[in-house]
């Protein structure tokens, strides 16, 4: 079990940086925290242009682990051509 799974985090993965930053702002406005955006380069990936962008969400607007909101976060991610997974 990874650290994110133990902490209840959700990783929202999107192909475009601008979309990731936009969605992170929306999530912050809805009460999600901390909504950190970072690049996810796969091991052995040669082209940085192909890297995905990940929004790490730890806490939901209810104050509990974001994993409880994974279905909602998945729908939002799909709107941007991405996906969400627990930790």
Predicted confidence at residue 49, as pLDDT, reads 61
Domain with 65 in it = 3-42+51-86
Kindly write down the DSSP assignment for every residue of 47-82, as one continuous string: -GGG-EEEEEEEE-TTSSBGGGGHHHHHHHHHHTT-
Kindly tell me the sign of the dihedral angle through the C-alpha atoms of 83, 12, 69, 2: positive
Confidence of residue 87 (pLDDT cuts 50, 70, 90): confident
CATH number at residue 74: 3.30.70
Edge-to-edge strands, sheet with 83-86: 33-40, 52-59, 10-14, 83-86
pTM of the predicted model as reported, rounded to 2 decimal places:
0.82
pLDDT digit string, tens, across residues 23-81: 999 999 999 999 999 998 654 555 556 689 999 999 999 999 999 999 999 999 999 99
Quote the Cα angle for 81-33-5, to 5°: 75
Predicted confidence at residue 46, as pLDDT, reads 55
CA 10 from chain centre, in angstroms, equals: 6
Give the chain's domain count. Answer: 1
Predicted confidence at residue 75, as pLDDT, reads 96
């Amino acid at each position: 079990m990874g650290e994110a799974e133990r902490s209840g985090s959700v990783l929202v993965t999107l192909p475009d940086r601008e979309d990731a930053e936009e969605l992170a702002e929306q999530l912050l406005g809805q009460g999600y925290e901390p909504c950190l955006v970072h690049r996810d380069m796969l091991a052995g990936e040669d082209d940085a242009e192909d890297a995905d962008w990940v929004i790490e969400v730890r806490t939901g607007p209810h104050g509990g682990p974001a994993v409880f909101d994974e279905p909602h976060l998945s729908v939002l991610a799909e709107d941007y051509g991405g996906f969400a997974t627990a930790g």
